[in-house]
Homo-oligomer: A and B are copies of this chain.
Amino acid sequence: MRTKDETKVQLILQTALKMIARIGLAGLKMSDLAKEAGVATGTVYIYFEDKNHLIRELYFYLTHVGTNNSTQQIAENDPLKIKIKKLARNYLDDNINNPEHSAFLEQYFRSPYFQENGSNRPEEVQLQPIYHLIVEGQRQSLIKEADPEWLVMLVCGMLNEVAKVSVYTKKSVTPAEWELTFSVLWDGIKS
């Protein structure tokens, strides 16, 4: 069913993502999606077998394409603490700038679309670049000796919460708030 008009696939997925963040996964109607994407209802079904497949494709699209909008460049020779700080900040910014991303995922895992699907929720902690930095920090005895996956989880938990509140209150994170956040993060994991 996939055709050469790959831009239409992107258009539909992006539109779906935007709408889901706005009205929720449950509220998404195929006809509304088509209208907002500027195509006919039937057209959606040319590119996606049904709503199930569309949502699932959206999931793969998000998890595999990634965001990679990281603005802060991490220099190879930055000290580890600075690397982690920049990485954490990028992670936070990604979450704040792409709230649809997490909005969708949060809903997806609890939705019938995920449940019907046999696939398991991936715990791709290792994919987080922060994972490797933490392992590296442990090698340098800068970071607590402990299950690095657990540390990543705690760090991400904090950052996710900051992002969620920032998005919800529509206030950006002030420099002071960011310094406080990183201070708690770093003091928490440093050895």
On whether the beta carbons of A112 and B184 are closer than 8 Å, the reply is no
Residues of B within 8 A of A40 (CB): 1
User: A184 contacts B151, CB within 8 Å?
Assistant: yes
Known: A156-B161, A157-B157, A158-B158. A184 touches B180 (CB 8 A): no
How many chain copies?
4
Within 8 Å by CB of A111, from B26, B169, B187, lies B26
B1, B161, B189: the one contacting A154 at CB < 8 Å is B161
Q: In angstroms, how far is the closest chain B Cβ from the Cβ of A11? A: 21
> A180 to B145, alpha carbons, bound, how many Å?
10
What sequence of 0s and 1s flags, for each residue 138-152 of chain A, a beta carbon within 8 Å of any chain B beta carbon?
A: 000000101100110
Which of A59-67, A71-79, A80-88, A102-110 has 4 or more CB atoms under 8 Å from chain B?
A102-110
Which residues of B lie under 8 Å from residue A23 when comparing CB positions? Answer: 112, 115
Instruction: State whether the Cβ of A27 lies closer than 8 Å to any Cβ in chain B.
Output: yes
Contacts of A111 in B (CB 8 A): 24, 26-27
Query: Which residues of chain A in 110-135 are interfacial with respect to chain B, using CB atoms and an 8 Å cutoff?
Result: 110-112, 115, 121, 123
Cβ–Cβ contact B181 & A150, under 8 A: yes
A157 CB to closest chain B CB, in angstroms? 3
Q: Which B residues are in CB contact (< 8 Å) with A15?
A: none
**A144-B180, A151-B184 given. 17 additional CB < 8 A pairs?**
A23-B112, A24-B26, A24-B110, A24-B115, A27-B115, A107-B107, A107-B110, A144-B183, A144-B184, A153-B162, A153-B165, A154-B185, A157-B159, A157-B160, A184-B188, A185-B188, A187-B190
